[in-house]
Amino acid sequence: MTLTSLSRELFLGFVKAHILYHAGREAVYGLWLIEELARHGYELSPGTLYPILHKLEEEGLLASEKQVVEGKARKYYRLTAAGQEALDRVREKAIELLDEIRENASPSRPD
């Protein structure tokens, strides 16, 4: 695995965690997520975000509902029970990793 592919996988993992988190707080839609993720430094195009949303929905982590807003159909996503379980696991692992990184701020490198 190259550094570039690893960076992309990590990036997408963080994006998915953000999506699950926000969908657990309130129903969210694509454009709102693009803007919210941009606030955190993630620049995503609709062509990147929507396949992620569809995949999370296929996996049962999100559920969607179409609503008409200002005459336009908008798809809102919310966290499912399985999504909450996944988010809880992500949170647990993220905290564990951050604690480890903080404890070993200057790790020695193997020779």
Give CA–CA dist 43/33, Å, rounded: 11
Give the integer Cα–Cα distance in Å for 90 and 111.
32
Measured between its terminal Cα atoms, the distance across the chain in Å is 21
CA–CA separation, 20 and 102 (whole Å): 25
Written as six digits, the tokens of 8 are 């992309």
Average pLDDT over residues 57-71: 95
Q: What is the pTM of this model?
A: 0.84
Fold of 9-103: Arc Repressor Mutant, subunit A (1.10.10)
Give the phi and the psi of residue 71 in degrees, each rounded to 5: 80, 0
Identity of the residue numbered 59 = E
What are the sequence ranges of the domains in the chain? 9-103
Q: 33-58: per-residue pLDDT in tens? A: 999 999 999 999 999 999 999 999 99
